[in-house]
Structure 1
């Protein structure tokens, strides 16, 4: 029996990139792979409906709702300790699961992992990749499309170009080694919503291609 790459997807919202991965696994564009689980950190994430529709098990695991951080906590040190405990607990949950993955794909996951998640996962040889709507070294962090568009409007966006990348995840936000990138030129007269729509359509293509590439590398290493 041919080996299979086991994929865990993490999402926080609508899950359109998760759907793109579901479709690509189903039609063979991500070959010899299976999505073993979805993890969400927002209770109303529509991604869970997509998982149900495809018979993919999912779990909701939230920093506040699951008791790691008090909603009213404003102390930076206390918040960091809470995040460390949450990260460690989620890593443990994944590593001890009977759905243990070979690859974790962050597809619209709106939470920044620290070393208490990344180190135990990395130590077990599980790769983590993330989709980010900017080019390497540009607009790291939240609201990347909006920030690029603001610079475009102000005449400060070099070549009028922004883009998308899929990269390996490290502790530094959006700074891991890029797997794939795609430049996107913002056109004169385009609205922010039009730019977002165009970027999201290309994101679906890029996350599928990058996931396929990494999954095939994983399968090749399993075959050795």
Structure 2
């Protein structure tokens, strides 16, 4: 069975969707570790509630990105993680983790990439006045939201849409698309 390490920085709603799918048997995998760069994040509470081990750290406590990624890598190896699943992890993955897990790091992003990469993708879509945005699941490379696309699903932006209503629609799509896509990847063993 594939072992997943989930990386999150905040609330962890996508992490919770993955937990729910795992616990109900819809995702044939084991969540072996939560990695969190914000020790006060709600995602940690979610992990503890479900008995998932946590490695939480303050990046600024390390001398460099390479130093904290080396520590993260040691925890991943100890947990015997096969895949890294980013679920609202707000840091670019660096060379240390890409070297060890290249082709086995997956991210979800709240836009139809390559449109609106980076932070505040939903706000960017609203400001641009587009009629359609969506959700993208992609492999992670050294760039910001530039890795090969695995799956996408469109979300319509209706007249009078607010950031709050769009976030709700995007999160609903994220929670189902991410779990479904991760499940397919694990079944096929797909890698870049």
TM-score by length of 2: 0.93
Partner of 2:13: 16
SS at match of 1:19: helix
One of 48, 69, 90 as aligned partner of 1:110: 90
Work out the CA distance in 2 between the residues paired with 1:57 and 1:92. Answer: 14
One of 212, 217, 222 as aligned partner of 2:183: 212
Residue 109 of structure 1: CA displacement? 0.4
SS at match of 1:130: strand
Deviations 1:3-61 (CA, angstroms, capped at 9, x unpaired): x1111111011111111001101112112x11111111101111111111111111102
Q: Once superposed, which parts of structure 1, at least 4 consecutive aligned residues long, lie more than 6 Å away?
A: none
Query: Residues 114 and 93 (structure 1 numbering): CA distance in 2 closer, same or farther, change over 3 Å?
Result: same
Give unmatched runs, 5+ long, in structure 1: 70-81
SS at match of 1:165: strand
SS at match of 1:93: helix
Work out the CA distance in 2 between the residues paired with 1:60 and 1:150. Answer: 35
Q: Does 1:169 align with 2:151?
A: no
Work out the CA distance in 2 between the residues paired with 1:127 and 1:62. Answer: 24
Partner of 2:124: 147
Work out the CA distance in 2 between the residues paired with 1:84 and 1:101. Answer: 19
Q: Which has the larger radius of gyration?
A: 1
8 Å CA contact retained: 1:91, 1:121 = no
Residue 217 of structure 1: CA displacement? 1.9
Give unmatched runs, 5+ long, in structure 2: none
- Please tell me the root mean square deviation across aligned C-alpha atoms, in Å: 1.7
Partner of 1:192: 163
Deviations 1:146-188 (CA, angstroms, capped at 9, x unpaired): 1011111xxxx2xx11111110100011111111101111000
One of 83, 86, 101 as aligned partner of 2:65: 83
Work out the CA distance in 2 between the residues paired with 1:181 and 1:121. Answer: 23
Work out the CA distance in 2 between the residues paired with 1:141 and 1:43. Answer: 23
Work out the CA distance in 2 between the residues paired with 1:118 and 1:36. Answer: 19
Work out the CA distance in 1 between the residues paired with 2:34 and 2:94. Answer: 20
